[in-house]
Structure 1
Amino acid sequence: MRAVRFHGRCDIRVDEVEEPICGNGQIRPAFVGLCGSDIHEYLGGPTIVPVTPHPLTNEKLPTTLGHEFSGTVEEVGSEITEFRVGDRVVVKPNLFDGTCSNCLMGIFNCCEKVAFIGFSSQAGGLSDHIVVDSRHAIPLPESIPLDIGALVEPLAVAWHAVSRSPLQTNETVLVVGAGPIGLAIIQVLKVKGITSIIAVEVSERRGEFALALGATEVLNPVDVDAVMQIRALTGNAGADIVFECSGAQAGLDTAIAGLRVRGTMVVVSLWEHRPTVDTFAVVFQEKNVIGAALYDDGDFEAVIDEIASGMLCYYPICCPYFLIRQVPSADLFSDIGGIQPRPMITSKIRMDDVDARGFKALIEERDKHVKILVDISA
């Protein structure tokens, strides 16, 4: 079967590998999203992908990529009763040992040996078939198309990040960085009832997406003094909650400076280089800084419920306006409930094109794309 495997920095290949033998459950992937962490690995790795055998999975380079994906159950193990052949699912990709101190506290997303389907195991969504333990398969209702199902994982990251914050509905929230995770957080904030959402983004097109998906203000720090504008919009106080999603020093500086006294910053982004933190602002203004990693139990299900509630006739699957390239109007979504993530899909490609039209497109044409999906069946 085909599998997109990471062999090293800037080296991914569509390899022919042996088809896995079904254990607990075999899934045929349908759509796989390319993630910022995939790009970080491609450009600067291996970092997440292990060079030596991983302590949990015992796997190492080369590894099959793909951790944001939906699919259809093709085969089930003899002891599996909760799934049948033909069921549609999304896959929760984090792996954990269940025995470390964090896992014993029930915080499995912070496992000391955390591993991932699509990074630190030979299983990955960018393949014709994949075998996963049934506990990693989350049912996808018929009302949600499989391409939208591939967006559940990044939306679950956003759901968890928002859940980590002390959010109140009357607060002003700042989102720094309107990439896929920042845009997902904006959508989650909207369904949580937040009506004052400020986004800071250098890309004009991603700023337009932010407005369309729920932001009330978008500030481009290339054109304006973002911190000054944030203070002007908040009575000179600053935002109550900030989500740092840029992974850039300038973005982190804006997040801290734009946060009010005793406000809370949630760091969601991954960093290639260790940033500098303004500890004077943190100490003397008693600002809170917390992290958000992956997702808790129940986050996937909560996101699926919210997507299902937003799957209305306003959203025709066949309409090319929603499929590729066009930035939607904010008015189009103002009266629709739930999460409507389809506008995030800016391209669909075949597996054979994953390098040129996937990874390289996200690197060289970053402003044109939010989420590129790989259609495994194409």
Structure 2
Amino acid sequence: MRAVRFHGRGDIRVDQIEEPVCGDEQVKIRPAFVGICGSGQKLPVTLGHEFSGTVEEIGAGVTGLKVGDSVVVKPNLSDGFIGFSSNAGGLSDHVVVPKKHVVALPEGFPLDMGALVEPLSVAWHAVNRAPTETAKTALVVGAGPIGLAVVQVLKARGVDCVIVAEVSAQRREYSKMFGAQEVIDPLAENVVGRVRALTQDAGVDIAFECSGVQAGFDAAMKGIRVRGTMTIVSLWEEKPVIDAFDVVSYEKHVIGAAICADGDFEAVIEGIRTGQLSPHRMITGKIAMEEVVEKGFKALIHDRDEHVKILIDISAGSD
């Protein structure tokens, strides 16, 4: 079968590998749509941890699923992170995963929307980690796919004012499209100064650091009020510098959020089903598996401002 595998930096290939066999307590899935995100650690690794698909086979001991069901797959940081450090990834013609990672979709739920459940669940979890019950103002620094997902979740939770700081003009437009009331260009104006002006000099109640750069980290930290909360969602290649004096003096809270918790996938699916979340405009392209390098990864590198989520349609060109 075909599988998109990461062999090393700048080396992604569509390989032919053995089709997996479904064992006890496992589910074999035919992937439908897969979002591009992340890279592998164990080489080579089959990519794809944001995906939907159709159940092809169920192993002994599996209950609650049947062949033909539409599903999404929930990765976690253990059990060989699916599509990141394991040999089970959605960017393949078939994939076998443990039953505990499989979440059924409601009847009629679009499979392309299913591929957005994982990134939205990361955002849902990040927002859950913050005190949104009392928050009226929020700052999101960095409007990449996760930052834009955080904006949508904040609006769904009823936060009155969502402010986004983002250097890309196109991503600032996406931010407004998904519900941000205010957008700030950090290259043209002082983020903290603008946030203060928008909040009667108090600062926002909560902030989400989604940029992964020091300047963004500093803006999020300085942008929250006394006893405000900053949630770090981005992944870092280098350790950021933290102003501990600022944290202590103003009794600020700094927390982290990664992947998702039990119930997050189901909450996001229900949010999409009911219209509380409407993420379809996050999909900015659909391509075939054989196009994944040129029209997928390279497009996200060279034309990143034009795209939020490029989905790989596994059925296109399949065997």
Query: TM-score normalized by structure 1?
Result: 0.81
Contact 1:169 1:192 in 2 (8 A): no
1:296 shift after superposition: 0.7
SS of match in other structure, 2:234:
coil
2:65 is the counterpart of 1:83:
yes
> How many percent identity over aligned positions?
63
Q: Tell me which residue corresponds to 2:150.
A: 185
> Matches of residues 293-312 of structure 1 in structure 2 within 5 Å?
293-310=258-275
**Residue type of the alignment partner of 2:2:** R
1:143 shift after superposition: 3.4
Q: Tell me which residue corresponds to 1:368.
A: 306
Q: Give the distance between the partners of 2:301 and 2:255, measured in 1 at CA.
A: 29
1:170 shift after superposition: 5.0
Contact 1:6 1:64 in 2 (8 A): yes
> Matches of residues 197-236 of structure 1 in structure 2 within 5 Å?
197-236=162-201
1:139 shift after superposition: 0.6
Q: Give the distance between the partners of 1:283 and 1:276, measured in 2 at CA.
A: 15
Q: Tell me which residue corresponds to 2:36.
A: 34
Deviation digits for residues 181-225 of structure 1 (CA, Å, limit 9, x no counterpart): 111111111111112100111111111111111111011111221
Q: Give the distance between the partners of 1:260 and 1:358, measured in 2 at CA.
A: 40
Distance 1:95 1:229, change over 3 A: closer
Q: Give the distance between the partners of 2:2 and 2:206, measured in 1 at CA.
A: 44
Q: Tell me which residue corresponds to 1:100.
A: none
**Residue type of the alignment partner of 1:90:** V
Contact 2:27 2:55 in 1 (8 A): yes
Q: Tell me which residue corresponds to 2:10.
A: 10
> Matches of residues 271-310 of structure 1 in structure 2 within 5 Å?
271-310=236-275
2:252 is the counterpart of 1:260:
no
Q: Tell me which residue corresponds to 1:159.
A: 124
2:299 is the counterpart of 1:358:
no
Q: Give the distance between the partners of 2:135 and 2:129, measured in 1 at CA.
A: 17
Q: Give the distance between the partners of 1:258 and 1:95, measured in 2 at CA.
A: 31
Q: Tell me which residue corresponds to 2:287.
A: 349
SS of match in other structure, 2:180:
coil
SS of match in other structure, 1:194:
coil
Deviation digits for residues 21-79 of structure 1 (CA, Å, limit 9, x no counterpart): 112210000000012xx2xx3xxxxxx513xxxxxxxxxx1110000000000111132
Q: Give the distance between the partners of 2:202 and 2:77, measured in 1 at CA.
A: 41
Identify the match of residue 62 of structure 1 among 23, 31, 44: 44
SS of match in other structure, 2:183:
strand
**Residue type of the alignment partner of 1:25:** V
Contact 1:118 1:125 in 2 (8 A): yes
Q: Give the distance between the partners of 1:268 and 1:163, measured in 2 at CA.
A: 12
Contact 1:143 1:308 in 2 (8 A): no
Kindly tell me the number of residue pairs found equivalent between the two proteins. 314
Contact 1:169 1:193 in 2 (8 A): no
**Residue type of the alignment partner of 2:167:** V
159-168 or 299-308: bigger deviation: 159-168
1:96 shift after superposition: 2.8
After the TM superposition, which parts of structure 1 deviate over 4 Å for at least 4 consecutive aligned residues? Answer: none
170-179 or 147-156: bigger deviation: 170-179
Q: Give the distance between the partners of 1:273 and 1:354, measured in 2 at CA.
A: 28
1:142 shift after superposition: 2.3
**Residue type of the alignment partner of 1:251:** G
SS of match in other structure, 2:293:
helix
SS of match in other structure, 2:207:
strand
Q: Give the distance between the partners of 2:313 and 2:286, measured in 1 at CA.
A: 6
Identify the match of residue 129 of structure 1 among 69, 76, 94: 94
2:210 is the counterpart of 1:248:
no
Q: Tell me which residue corresponds to 2:22.
A: 22
Structure 2 gaps, min length 5: none
**Residue type of the alignment partner of 1:16:** Q
Larger strand share, 1 or 2:
2
**Residue type of the alignment partner of 2:129:** R
1:95 shift after superposition: 5.1
Please give the root-mean-square deviation of Cα atoms over the aligned residues, in Å.
Answer: 1.1
Contact 1:124 1:130 in 2 (8 A): yes
Q: Give the distance between the partners of 1:359 and 1:163, measured in 2 at CA.
A: 30
Q: Tell me which residue corresponds to 1:49.
A: 41
Query: TM-score normalized by structure 2?
Result: 0.96
SS of match in other structure, 1:241:
strand
**Residue type of the alignment partner of 1:356:** E
1:274 shift after superposition: 1.2
162-171 or 243-252: bigger deviation: 162-171
**Residue type of the alignment partner of 2:32:** A
1:81 shift after superposition: 2.4
